[in-house]
Amino acid sequence: MQDILLIALFAFLGAAAAGLLGALALRLLRHRSLVVSLTVVAAVAILAMLAGTLSVAWEMFLSPHDLTVVTIVVAMAAVVSLATALVLGRWVVARSKALTLAARTFGDGGSFAAPPEPVSAELAELTRELEATSAKLAESRERERALESSRRELVAWISHDLRTPLAGLRAMSEALEDGMAAEPDRYLRQIRTEVECLNSMVGDLFELSRIHAGALALSPSRISVYDLVGDALAGADPLAREHGVRLVGDGVEAVPVEVDSKEMSRVLGNLLINAIRRTPADGTVAVAAQRSPDGVVLSVTDGCGGIPEEDLSRVFDTGWRGSHARTPPAGAGLGLAIVRGIVEAHQGWAAVRNVDGGCCFEVTLPAAGS
């Protein structure tokens, strides 16, 4: 028993010395290729076995013949191990280089294409993560392009919409200043109208900037949808009368919601104004509100004749105003973008679909807790 313990001790000391040398070598070569590290690991295993054997032999536990046999066996094992480490290291390095080349496509604005060669489990997991990241980046780039396109359209439309009232204001003010205005009171009323239009546009821009900056501060309170819709209908009634459009709010349930009443009134007001302006005279704009499995759904249905299918996905984009025939007489196409921003700030969502003779805008809000 004592001889076995001595053999184990000397073998451990020899292997430990080889292991320490291997650890030092790995530390010094930690920035080199993976092939070098794998070769060092294989060499350490062989040297540990050889060092343990030689330390035992030096203590006369092995005969010279047995020592020669063991040394030859260890040498053959070393050759095979080192060759295997080199092959494995070169294979892993080749797969890593292929993965690196594929990952460089991110910087070129392209999509990630996984290398066709088989890889290890760890590299396969990394490949899947890179593919998922590539998909997310592609979606982000697409959103960025869409937003940039919307910004360019918005700047163009705002510039056009501002130029018209400003030119009118300049002409009317010059006429008043030169005493050339035959009816000064009418000019003053028109100036007031144009100023109110400009003020509305600036207010929409300010509201949209707050939404995009995440600075829209909500003050939610419990309110009945019936009261919310009633106030919105009362506010839109004069415009509806002016356009000869009938407002209908018979399908409204008294469902409680937790919302910022001021902001939600703006949502309903924007939807009603758009619906009234795009509904022909003698048409009807219907407002409804009811419970659903997803919460509370408020809908505004108009008689505009419908929206082209290719435009449905862009209705709530900033600056979208559809075809010329559907463009309202005033505004910069910000109303529906503001609607979506306010609704999403309430943890809800907005949608639109075509119905018989027009379209239906739906706003879904979380139901108030009991």
Residue 7 and residue 1: Cα distance in Å, rounded?
10
Report, as an integer, the average pLDDT of 150-162. 72
**pLDDT at site 348:** 92
pLDDT-derived band at 305 (thresholds 50, 70, 90) equals: confident
The amino acid occupying position 34 is: L
Beta 246-252 vs 284-292: how paired, if at all? parallel
199 pLDDT higher than 70: yes
Determine the distance from the C-alpha atom of residue 273 to the mean position of all C-alpha atoms in its chain, rounded to a whole number: 31
First and final CA of the chain: distance in angstroms?
A: 79
pLDDT in tens, 205-259: 878 778 877 778 888 889 988 899 999 999 999 999 999 999 998 878 888 889 9
319: pLDDT strictly greater than 80: no
pLDDT band at 285 (very low <50, low <70, confident <90, very high): very high
Average pLDDT of the residues of the chain: 78
Q: Token digits for 350?
A: 């907005």
Higher pLDDT residue, 148 or 297?
Answer: 297
Is-contact 315 337, C-beta < 8 A?
Answer: no
Structural contact between residues 299 and 284, judged by C-beta atoms closer than 8 angstroms: no
8 Å CB contact between 221 and 261: yes
pLDDT (mean) for 185-193: 85
As a whole number of angstroms, the distance between CA 108 and CA 11 comes to: 56
* Interval 155-169 mean pLDDT: 77
> What per-residue confidence (pLDDT) applies to 211?
80
Tell me: pLDDT of 12 over 70.
no
- pLDDT (mean) for 89-106: 72
* CA separation for the pair 368, 348 (Å, rounded): 12
The pLDDT of residue 329 is 44
Q: What is the mean predicted confidence (pLDDT) over 112-138?
A: 73
Percent of the chain with pLDDT strictly greater than 70: 73
